[in-house]
Structure 1
Amino acid sequence: MRRDDRDEPFDDLFREIERMMNEMMNSADRDVGFDSATNAENGFGMDTHVDIHETDEEVRVIADLPGVEKEQIELECDGEMLTISAGTEHRQYDERVSLPTRVNEHTASATYNNGVLEVVFEPAEQSSDISLE
């Protein structure tokens, strides 16, 4: 019995999307001049993953820093941007994370466990009204 293409109208579309994705992934190094070995060693974007969670009570930043010791991590925050710097002899991490809301950087607490950095901030106080006399 001959297959009728009308039974699965999106079959060709899915095959084409899969073909294009495979082609893109297999030729990414050639097409964009990306040297995966060098950048993976440096830690820029290859194995660093940053998540930001915001609630009314806090802003939580979670970053993966595999292979880094706690003593090698430096954190800086100006209330709007968190800078995470860490380095080993094999990797260098420099992440600038734009925070979703202004935070009170003086309330920050940070923990590092099994390659996962977690930084928690309280939101900055809302500016108060100024009354004229």
Structure 2
Amino acid sequence: MNSISGASHPVAIVASAMALPMPDAPVRAGFPSPAEDFAVNRLDLTQILVTHPQATFLLRVAGSSMRDAGIEDGDTLVVDRAIKPQHGHVVVAVVDGEFTVKYLHQRAGRLRLKAANPTFPDIVPKDGQTIEVWGVVSSCIKRFVV
């Protein structure tokens, strides 16, 4: 099971502005463009990452069950509890008291949590098992340099 480290203590996002410089032109992943094309604006990351500040939390991923979805060990998830979970969403769920991140699969009134790594089995509720969809993952933050 892919777990969320620090799972018993999700960190609420504090909606304070932190504007960072951002050029108007996109960065090319092919051929570079001339530097004079860059006009700099300021961008507040919370405006991009947070839609519902009172219902948004950060959780750190531990494990590799969602690697094929681009969610890897050590990534930080932005989880919005105000979004209604729907089939196909990446969600954070509580399974028997532990947090996990998986795809939500809902069909014909049945719930299944699917990993994005073929070496991990689906989580299908068993009799007496408690599964709660806790929130919807709205973003994944990666750090390349620590």
Q: Could you state the TM-score of these two structures normalised by the residue count of structure 1?
A: 0.26
Q: Which has the higher contact order (CA 8 A, sep 6+)?
A: 2
